[in-house]
Amino acid sequence: MQLLREVDFKQTRCNARDVLKNFRRLERMAGRSLIDIKSPIITDMPKAPKHGNKAEDAIIQMMDIEAERDAILAALMALSLISRQILYYSFCDVNKHSNYEIGQLIRGYGEKNVEKLKSIALIEFAEAYKKGVLVQYR
């Protein structure tokens, strides 16, 4: 009998990648203004909202986006410096970087070493993100 279930590392890395790939988009959306300025459209048709409050829905969506972005940042901050740098330059920086460029940016790491460290960092991220929700068990 095992105390801990066996982890499916390949699927866990894939789950972590899927979350981190959204970071750039979330960062762009979170930087957007809460008030979208639209010109009024004048028509002779009666105006009645289909359902709900559009302004409230937009604010709730923005809060969800910011919460998701903050959860990713909190998980990154829980990692070691090297793991954090590798994942930051891979998924979070405005510019996309190759493994070779990442090795040059963090000084002294080769392309294959960065690839190996990224694999380890993705597992660490999956464990840190929202209390391990990304970890896939067999």
- Per the CB < 8 A criterion, the answer to whether 4 and 138 are in contact is no
**Rounded to 5°, angle at Cα 122 from 67 and 27:** 30
pTM equals: 0.82
Whole-angstrom distance, CA of residue 79 vs CA of residue 122 = 10
> Domain coordinates of the chain in residue numbers?
1-30+63-138
Give the CA angle between residues 63, 64, 69 to the nearest 5°.
Answer: 95
Per-residue pLDDT of the chain (138 residues; tens, 9 = 90+): 577 889 999 999 999 999 999 999 999 988 865 555 455 566 776 666 566 677 788 889 899 999 999 999 999 999 999 999 999 999 999 999 999 999 999 988 999 999 999 999 999 999 999 999 999 998
58 contact partners, CB below 8 Å, separation of at least 6: 34, 36
